Structure 1
């Protein structure tokens, strides 16, 4: 014989007077709480049960927020051997749900509900909270401590420019799941501490107020990864000083900055593993920006590609990335949204500001990465390599001033932007060998000081660095070709009248980097002068010397400064021939100095 038990209706004396009479639905929830039983108020029609249609729901789906708060704060004890919990699906919750500064031991599950009033968890200590699929006016959890997980998957928050989700200083022992969340207004997580991971995959955050912040999470500490694949954010995404315990993923995200000019603010950001701002391939083709031609690596015929885009500066100044930094296929725009009025300062804002950044892996601007703005990597240190292969940014300015790529550069000549600032940039090697004459034109793309939109500036260090690269390979000839190009580039900066000696030195000996040319000139001048002096008879000025005039030795006496054959002491020319001897002497000293300099450079490999 089976004995059926029924949970008794709560006695009136058990219900606080401030709550008044409970409705039938509230009594049902009250009875379910001690054993943590689920109360499902849905009809079974997905369209009708959507929280957006809550105004059309029957009255028996209405629950007061203060009734739920009373249960959470311990007005009704848990049944022996059970865990008390509020678990409701499909309710319309009226009034304010407030447990601020309370200690809540019971888990809270309010899925696919509609909240007419605010949810206030400020300074509360709670168990796990699940609000997935619900619609809220606002959620405030300032300084709260969630001893479990906080699930906001698919939540819709129709807040204001001042308040939507305010969770500054929150501590979540588990993970924060905000996949698919849609928030109008600011989402605040300043100084939040999340023990697990934080997810904003396919979320939509919108704060279109002037200088609005869509996600404000400065100083946040995340134990594992922060995942925001496919995020759409209008208003600045802020993570300055944040610490991410594993990876940071923004693949396929679309960030639109506010009037402040930044789309992503990550100054001082620390990521223990890699950071990803790449294109996101999707099989279903949803929300695609481009479609890649040809088969993908997984064997499909094509794949939908959603690019990471940022309308506004991506700031990573002083950031530390423990792995690689990936921008493959991304599109960065220096200014704000294209529909906004043109701001004159947009031209001065970089598309990527990453000065003094440290990347323990490599930086990738590959796979069709595009920008027409500046990539500012001043003083950045890259332990791995800088990858520019297949970069599609011909109008960009790449600033690598005082930057270091320990692992070298992977590139194609066509991938380099048309404007460069390579002063102080040091690197180990290139991914593939090219002759110096092919790489030297890149150095002519240096921008002028104070005029980053104009090329033609000269910096000596990029030539010295390229020459050092070839010397490191043991190819001194290519190194001298680079250094000769440096002298020619320096000469072009001088007034025309100051270029004449340089042209002469270049013609004669290639600034000392072409010593064989100097020897050839010397032999040619000696032969020409010998023929000339053989045709013109000099005067015999020494009556004691009866030697025969030798035109070759006479020419050598004037052409070779350090060797004397005695001919000028016995024989002399006057008139035009005397002028020839003077010119020959000057050319001899010039060639001698050039040959000595060339020999010195050869011996010192510089």
Structure 2
């Protein structure tokens, strides 16, 4: 138990100020160059033992009547470990511009607001902590120094299974845990927002299963995860109102959103998704993700694959730089597509170029899957662009053809050339007109022989050609005449074969179209 006589002058100043919540500022009058990064050289006139802070927070010196006790300290070097694991803390903590020699331990504690701003902290363990207020680390440097006794993974800032009734604020903070977790907050339950604007993190930022009803805001943040398959950000199965990764957000590592549920917007507008260094993994993994508004209008193309299998969104915003060389879209569904660059949005319909662009990003998937084509065609039909929908379904059949056996592939080529798999039936008319013209010209230049001289109608080249091309019924010309010229006779056989092929292709193509539509 500390006694007042054992306290140093700066500790006594803090002790006396605590009951009234007064701030103690240990910075010299000339504070030029007085940054916490140099706090390790601060002398005894600016040094406070962590044991003194712990004693005050645990009630060693009660508050004054009519005042709210609070520990407010600026510009101090704090020696020893601030160990409050499991404690019931009834006072708020506000530290600014401070240097901690050792890691802060709050595991399992129950406390009011914690603010450690513009400070240097060699790790903060707040797993399973209950915070009635805010956790504020604005502008601070949090770096891993050694493994926490409560968690085997290297973690600079741990909020695993913590509950925070207010906000978590990491704006302009720098968190370093190379090879480990910069932030570990799996199972975090919050009532306020999680703000990490312009955060710089070296190591993984992990919030799997977190509940963030106030949203997660990381616009302008930079996340660095070393290694060929490094994860920069993990939000698997998280539930949030908003995920904002916009305006300069950069992830050098995979962003994982598998199974995340976003009740409002998920935005990467103006973001950079580089994927793991060396291209060893995906830039974005969002399988089974659900969101209302999904903005993927990036600053430049992702350097790794984007995986959206099974994801569901109501509004998809995409642009020139949204899609990398590999995109997995099987099961991805959306209600509307809007295109454009940052700050500009328009409905993505109305031009052949837009259809070709979307077919191209479907084709970037590894292998053939019909669902992305069907989804895109359904959307085009919903907005009244049936011609574009047919173009998409034609592209689907052409993609599928590459997966078939040689015989089926040859039949597919024939269906494509003759009727466009039923989505271009006018092609059959073009073929019929061309063959009719060819036959009429050739037959007009030659004289046939009557099967029964003097009987039947006179020879008419046009009617004779049509009689050959129409396999059902007859016009009376084909059975009344024959050819002695072998070349002309083979032309007649060819026209008969083409007639059957065209008829079969038209029936097959139209049947497929009617079944799909």
Which TM-score band applies after superposition, normalised by the shorter structure?
0.7 to 0.9
Q: Indicate the residue corresponding to 2:149 in structure 1.
A: none
Distance 1:470 1:601, change over 3 A: farther
The equivalent of 2:332 in structure 1 is 403
Partner residue, 1:153: 117
1:303-325 CA-to-partner distances (Å, cap 9, x unmatched) read xxxx2211111111111112211
Name 1:584's counterpart in structure 2: 495
Distance 1:480 1:29 in 2: 76
Contact 1:463–1:486 (8 Å) recurs in 2: yes
Show CA shifts across 1:420-449 (max 9, x none).
Answer: xxxxxxxxx982433446623653555577
Q: Answer yes or no: is the 8 Å Cα contact 1:313–1:350 preserved in 2.
A: yes
**Are 1:440 and 2:372 matched, yes or no?**
no
**After superposition, what is the alpha-carbon deviation per residue over 1:30-81, rounded to whole angstroms, capped at 9, x for unaligned?**
666665666555542324876645755465x6555555555555555555x3
For structure 1, the 5+ residue unaligned runs are: 1-15, 86-106, 280-306, 337-341, 416-428
Task: Note the aligned Cα RMSD (angstroms).
Answer: 3.8
Residue aligning to 1:112: 75
**Map of 2:160 onto structure 1:** 190
User: 1:372 pairs with 303, 322, 330, which one?
Assistant: 303
State the partner residue of 2:153. Answer: none
In the alignment, what sits opposite 1:339? none
SS in 2 for 1:590: helix
The 1-side partners of 2:504 and 2:329 are apart by: 37
Partner of 2:109: 144
After TM superposition, the structure 1 = structure 2 runs for residues 306-455 of structure 1, keeping only pairs within 5 Å, are 307-336=248-277, 346-347=279-280, 349-360=281-292, 362-366=293-297, 368-383=299-314, 385-389=315-319, 391-392=320-321, 395-411=324-340, 431-436=347-352, 439-440=355-356, 442-444=358-360, 446=362, 452=366
**Distance (Å, rounded) in 2 between the aligned partners of 1:587 and 1:538:** 23
1:7 maps to which residue? none
Which digits, 9 at most, give the CA deviation of each residue in 1:154-187, with x for residues without a partner? 2211x3xxxx211111111011111011112111
Structure with larger Rg: 1
TM-fit CA distance, 1:599:
6.0
Give me the TM-score of the superposition, normalised by structure 2.
0.82
Partners of 1:278 and 1:326 within 8 A in 2: yes
Secondary structure class of the residue paired with 1:196:
coil
Change (3 A) 1:517 1:39: closer
| Structure-2 change in CA distance of 1:366 and 1:523 (3 Å) | closer
Matched, 1:165 2:135: no
Asked if 1 retains the 8 angstrom alpha-carbon contact of 2:27 and 2:75, the reply is no
* Deviation at residue 203 of structure 1 after TM alignment: 0.5
Alignment size in residue pairs: 497
SS at match of 1:108: strand
Question: What TM-score do you get using the length of structure 1 for normalisation?
Answer: 0.71
Note the alpha carbon deviations across 1:456-502, whole angstroms, 9 max, x for none.
Answer: x6554544444444444555555444444555555566788876665
1:268 aligns with 2:237: yes
- Find the counterpart in structure 2 of residue 257 from structure 1: 225
Deviation at 1:197, TM superposition (A): 0.6
User: Quick one: distance in 1 between partners of 2:478 and 2:16?
Assistant: 126
Residue number in structure 2 paired with 1:181: 140
Aligned partner of residue 96 in structure 2, secondary structure: coil
Q: Give the match's secondary structure for 1:173.
A: strand
Greater RCO structure (CA 8 Å; 6+ sep): 2
Deviation string 1:391-416 (CA, Å, 9 cap, x unpaired) is: 4367543332211111224258xx9x
Judge conservation of contact 1:436–1:479 (CA < 8 Å) in 2.
no
